[in-house]
Structure 1
Amino acid sequence: MRVAIAGGTGFLGSVLVRLLKENGHEAIILTRRSEASDNPRMVGYLSEGARPERELKDIDAFVNLAGTSINAGRWTEQRKQDILTSRITATDEIVRIIRSMKKKPDVLVNASAIGLYPTSETAIYNEEGDSGNDFLADVVKTWEHRAAEAGKEGVRTVFMRFGVILGKNDGALPLITLPYRLYAGGTVGTGRQWVSWIHVLDAARAILFALENDSVRGPVNTVAPNPLRMKEFGRTVGRVLGRPHFLPVPSFALKVALGEKSKLVLEGQRVAPSKLGSLGFRFLYPDAEEALREILKNE
């Protein structure tokens, strides 16, 4: 399978590229930068004069992971606009490329997020769950709506609603572990908020599963089957690192420090990977302690 990937050099994308190669597939990375590479192959897009459709005539699948990180920087109005615009611009361009192709790809796997669902300490959300009405929910709704245009071209379309992706050097985990490394870790906020997480390798494996299985369509909650409340998640981090879990971080302090972005850690959703489970996907790391021990080994 020949797979074109937007966001292929990022945190999750780089793991996916390696996984595709290990499974006998070819990855072609869509890039805005003017760089040349044959391993993996790079194709320019979203830059002046770029005509990626000329080089993507025999693509079997697209994966769209492009977008400004929601973890970096305070959520100013400009930052929020960048978060939305970066996702919509990349998605619209991929749909445009698909429309221009005589031989359509079989599938588009588009990134999405569990931020679509309302925050709750009691509800459990499957793929048919209600949507929220805050900033992140609005971003996700717009993002999925634009990606769904590929379906009008006869392309099977999948929305991977990722939870908190755990990896060693990027994503949320380095920030989560930092206080523990400084012997200052503890419960964040009330500690009752849910953390619906997934190991980065399982996130990449879920994308590959969606690429290879025609039965995977529409929204897919891409989270491990065993979420934890924040207090237990923090205790697990401390246990894995051999550090104490004792110094609480009050909600008001995070709201002052992070503003609206504090919702990422002070509120959460309990999300179930219902579709992945029903279709037979097997997680390598279904439990948080096992996942954290693998990621943080040799530390």
Structure 2
Amino acid sequence: MDSIDTFTISPKCQSIIIDQIQSIELERHKILQCGINYGKEAFSIYRRKPEMYMLLYTTKGKGLIKTPEKEWSLEAGSVIYIPPAQENCFIINPEDNEALEWDVAWVMLESNSHWDKSLPHDVYYNDSQSCDLLFKTITCLNNALSFRYPLGDALCRSITEQICLLVENRSTSYAPKALTRLEHVFQQTKSQLHHPWQVSDLAKLYPCSEPHFHRLCQQYFQQSPIAHLTQIRMEHAAGLLTTTNWSIQHISDLCGYPNPTNFSTRFKAWSRFTPRQFRNQFQSKK
């Protein structure tokens, strides 16, 4: 693989880099390197004539990639493919990025291999649902390298296959970009349903103004932002009621309702059952 021609990396950046010397599974699958980078303040790399495919998956902040012909703003939830021999430079994008952050998962793939048949031969930029999962998967691979044989080898084999699966499935999403962003916002709320989310919080995650976020939810979900969030909370509560023996108070807290009476009222309006009735009705059918 060609060396980096020039680079500027702030001391505040943190990186994990895994190559074929560390993992024979990467060599077997024709992956030169993979890694993650927490970019902060300054992070730029220039390659004049790379000999590999480069894939960048943005998970947070904004990046900017430049070629002699064009430049692309890389936003969270997107992937860009750079083919071999394509001169390029990528940096943290300062536009609407006051914190100067860019968190990215990246994969370098061998050219003249089976990847030539499955990857685009021009620069290709698209939304991707794989960004966060790939970021976490590479982190898992890095952790698996510390395990001894045979568990370490089995873990690396399985995790590397997952990386390949995420890379190969680059099918274009036919959903409008606005809808993809909306789904990404509410996907984040699912991991923190206990948080007292306000429309202002959700709009910042998009990001856009509160009125615009409200219009988008009405357009794509036919609900207000809070109504859609309530639906997500109720669906999660229903799952917990039928698959666990946790107390209703505990489920109420997890779903963002510190007051169990308020939770019970909303749940009944959604399901026509109180939480206890719902559990008795549906848990017994397991």
TM-score (norm 1): 0.26
Larger strand percent:
2
TM-score calculated relative to the size of structure 2: 0.27
* Larger RCO of the pair (alpha carbons < 8 Å, separation 6+): 1
